[in-house]
Chains A and B, each alone.
Chain A
Amino acid sequence: MSQSAQIRRSSGGFFLTLVSRYWGVLAVLLAWQAWVSISGVNAIVMPHPIDVLLNIVQNPGSYWQNGSQTLLLAAGGLVMGMALGTLIAVVAWTSRVLSGILIPLGLIFSSVPVVALIPVLARLLGYDVRTVLAIVVIISFFPAFVFTSAGLRALPPGSEDLFQVLGASKWRRFVHLVMPSAVPNWMIALRLAAPPAVLSAMVAEFLMGSSGLGYMFRAAATDFDTAQAFGTSVVATAISVLCFTAATLAETRVNQKWK
């Protein structure tokens, strides 16, 4: 409720909120600038925040292109991973035998470190965006699977008796009761999976990509272009925060309606 009220406030109020909320970030930036100016540390080790900002402003095309690519891959992979996780949770819900197979498999699959998966997948799918997408799908799959599985069993009190006396078929019970019951849990999965989706897309790009923010960071770091490397990190952080905030807002909205 407070979040939507804040959105409705005027832009001046919005700026004030920004300062009052994120003064900590601003303070860190100021301290950083003060420290590099006073100590005179080499720009290859630690760039000035101003230089980082200038680097972003002076190369908008390159940041935009790579940033949007990473964002699209993360978002696309997130959607596909969530869809896959939901689908498998539903399949597992329909039968005890299937859930006995799928739950341990999902657990094992999600426990394998992404870094170990990347070379294998790259050889299978090619050293390009397809592998990046596949990594994001795998990372996003597990929270969707776990939370949807739990949500499909979290039915409102008395609703099972109700659907039985209403003479509901299994299909109608699923559509009108089981699926809607899982929605709040599904939104939690979305919020939890959104930041790792961005992170895993960047890791995959960093290790084997030829474009995207991850690749851009590696290229900049190799060239000792520290300002650009930092700029890439700033943009990546911004994208990650954006995804998390959007997912949190969506979750709040849905919970208002659902509870």
Chain B
Amino acid sequence: MSAPHPQVSSTPWAIDIDHVGKVFTLDNGESLVAVDTVDLKIEKGEFVALLGPSGCGKSTILRLVAALEDPTTGRIAIENRDPLSLSRQHRLGVAFQDHALLPWLSVKNNIALPYKVAGRPVDHERIADLLGLVGLKGFENARPSQLSGGMRQRVSIARALILNPDVLLLDEPFGALDAVTRRHMNVELQRIWGEERITSLLVTHSVEEALFLADRVIVMSGRPGRVVKSIAVPFERPRRPEVQRTAEFHSLADELTLALEPEEAAAS
């Protein structure tokens, strides 16, 4: 560390979301509290899933970590630095819910885009490796419009991984896919992540997805978003799809579902 950030005190966390709140001002002048004081620490190499109903502010947290929004209160640090400096140094990988592939570029060139944006020489070997990893060998020259939804998301994930990012952010990457493809993609993502072991933050509203992929699941309540529960996932890695059929998986899933739907819990 040649020049440590002067204001930021040193923390051992890879991602430190320190009492962060976000208030949006609407067009009619009213203010909307999207996130209400969320405090979350993520270790290096840890995979954390943010689980919550739609509109609970979980995507807002991800956008705050990606420096796409600024927090209204509190502070976010990634490895003791401002999140913006991470993206400026091209060390951030993000897979969005809408794949955000450029329609005029081939699969290969979409994956190579971060190299070009960073002004680095394109590493064709790395692209070929990642294409193999996400199971898209032979589709190098296809264009996004020729691919299925699942394949587009794989390209998007390969693009997020191409520069070996320090932090990987996944914003419901499989939210638009059908249930079968989604389960299949989760198995793939689990395998891919096992090979790279990047500090990851996944935003999802699927209990099974969160449990299968993450080391820790954080449950958020509806608006305004706040953390209501945090559980450590005990399953060994690499995880096989069969894990999802064990009794332990089901009891954890029930626990998380109850935390997601407190009204139902109170009624029963």
Q: Cβ of B103 and Cβ of A258 under 8 Å apart?
A: yes
Residues in A whose Cβ lies below 8 Å from that of B96: 158, 161-162
> Does A93 interact with chain B (Cβ within 8 Å)?
no
Q: Cβ of A163 and Cβ of B103 under 8 Å apart?
A: no
In the complex, what's the smallest C-beta–C-beta distance from B202 to chain A, in angstroms? 16
Question: In terms of DSSP, what is the predominant structure of the interface of chain A?
Answer: helix
Q: Cβ of A167 and Cβ of B88 under 8 Å apart?
A: yes
Q: Which one, B110-118, B125-133, B191-199, is touching chain A?
A: B110-118
Q: Cβ of B90 and Cβ of A167 under 8 Å apart?
A: yes
Q: B196-247: which have CB < 8 Å to A? A: none
Partner of A259 from the list B99, B101, B103, B117 (CB cut-off 8 Å) is: B103
**Number of contact residues on B: which range applies?**
20 to 34
Given known A176-B116, A257-B104, A259-B103, contact A162–B94 (CB-CB < 8 A): yes
Most central of B99, B100, B101, B143 by chain A CB within 10 Å: B100
> Does B89 interact with chain A (Cβ within 8 Å)?
yes
> Does B145 interact with chain A (Cβ within 8 Å)?
yes
> Does B98 interact with chain A (Cβ within 8 Å)?
yes
Given known A165-B66, A166-B118, contact A183–B92 (CB-CB < 8 A): no
In the complex, what's the smallest C-beta–C-beta distance from B159 to chain A, in angstroms? 9
Partner of A167 from the list B92, B100, B104 (CB cut-off 8 Å) is: B92
Closest A residue to B116 using CB positions: A176
Partner of A172 from the list B94, B99, B116 (CB cut-off 8 Å) is: B116
Q: A82-96: which have CB < 8 Å to B? A: none
> Does A164 interact with chain B (Cβ within 8 Å)?
yes
Q: Cβ of A258 and Cβ of B100 under 8 Å apart?
A: no
Expressed in whole angstroms, the Cα–Cα distance for A102 and B93 within the complex equals 39
Q: Cβ of A161 and Cβ of B117 under 8 Å apart?
A: no
B-contact 0/1 string along A213-242, CB 8 Å cutoff: 000000000000000000000000000000
Q: B57-107: which have CB < 8 Å to A? A: 66-68, 87-90, 92, 94, 96, 98-104
Expressed in whole angstroms, the Cα–Cα distance for A158 and B87 within the complex equals 16
Closest A residue to B113 using CB positions: A176
Expressed in whole angstroms, the Cα–Cα distance for A137 and B104 within the complex equals 29
Which residues of B line the A interface, CB within 8 A? 66-68, 87-90, 92, 94, 96, 98-104, 113-114, 116-119, 143, 145, 169
20 A–B contact pairs at CB < 8 A? A156-B100, A157-B98, A158-B100, A161-B68, A161-B96, A162-B100, A164-B66, A164-B67, A165-B67, A165-B87, A165-B92, A166-B92, A166-B117, A166-B118, A167-B89, A167-B90, A167-B117, A173-B117, A176-B102, A257-B104
